[in-house]
Amino acid sequence: MSDVATPRRTKEIIERHGFSFKKSLGQNFLIDPNILNKIVSAAGLDKTKGALEIGPGIGALTEQLARQAKAVAAVEIDQRLIPILQEVLGAEEHVSVVHADVLDLDLHQLFRDKFAGTSAVSVVANLPYYVTTPILMKLLEQRLPLENIVVMIQKEVAERMAAKPGTKAYGSLSVAVQYYAVPELVCIVPHTVFIPQPNVDSAVIKLAMRDKPAVEVADEDFFFRTVQACFAQRRKTIHNNLSSWIGKSRREELTRVLQETGIDPVRRGETLSLQEYAALAAALEREGL
């Protein structure tokens, strides 16, 4: 039988099961085998490795992962897709379909259950756009034993994740992602390769997980709150953004902290590197701000 990721086979499966797309679940299914190949090869899978897929839909990507990986776990929220996935994927021992909302799932437990005995694990997915950032932040923050994450997401979000300091797209999301991983844009994807077609273009991004975070920080929570504060109002200087955060009465201490770190107070948040954010957070903490 032909692969799922063709317009004809996808339509056939959908019609036979009387399946109707739910926009609210971000259901846009891939029908282009070339794009699927690019996603799967970017992950660098082999028969010793595991793949976690989030949102398998009707299994277009899952069947490719099953051919390349030692173990595949596919987490799908929509109960109506479970029997379709079982039919498409057959009863392969190394492939598990899990009916769950990935945001509620204990991923460490899932890794213990499904990926014991694999040499490395990748997340490979065409993510539902309405929850891209919460899903990726959960994957990054939970310190899962991951080699990389290769995902199709909205193009504009991919560009923000990969953005360098001094560019318009650089923001708190860039800092958060780059703290844990090294991002690389794999390809831009037109909206014509999905059914139904989304309103926006997409991109495949690869996040290669770092062994340890990009910068050393004493208190991660405080580091990320400092970053958020500096981006609170993009057109304001970091001095103004930070003084709104810590209180105008402590402006003098703030000026001292910025002098101490050698960061010009009139700079904007979008110009600071991760190293500068780490130094700034450490100095603010030292001053008790």
DSSP 8-state symbol, 191: G
Q: Is 258 annotated as a binding residue?
A: no
**Would you say 71 or 163 has its CB closer to ligand SAM?**
71
Q: Tokens 């490795």, residue? A: 49
Tell me: does residue 101 bind ligand SAM (CB under 6 A): yes
Rule CB under 6 A: which of 75-94 touch ligand SAM? 75-78, 81
Going by C-beta distance under 8 Å and a sequence separation of 6 or more, which residues neighbour residue 29?
10, 57, 58, 60, 194, 195
CB 100 within 8 A of CB 81: no
* Residue 34 assigned to a binding site: no
**How far apart are alpha carbons 249 and 251 in whole angstroms?**
6
Nearest-CB residue to ligand SAM? Answer: 55
Footprint of ligand SAM on 119-158 (CB under 6 A): 126, 128, 131
Of 95-103, 172-180, 218-226, 268-276, the window that binds ligand SAM (rule: CB under 6 A) is: 95-103
Secondary structure (3-state) at 272: coil
Residue keyed to tokens 């919460």: 134
Longest dimension (CA), the chain: 71
- H helix and E strand count, the chain: 12, 9
- Does 202 help bind ligand SAM (rule: CB under 6 A)? no
Q: Does 63 bind ligand SAM (CB under 6 A)?
A: no
Return the residue of 35, 43, 51, 60 that touches ligand SAM, per CB under 6 A: 60
Q: Which is nearer to ligand SAM, 50 or 128 (CB)?
A: 128
Question: Which residues form the interface with ligand SAM (CB under 6 A)?
Answer: 25-30, 54-57, 60-61, 75-78, 81, 101-103, 126, 128, 131
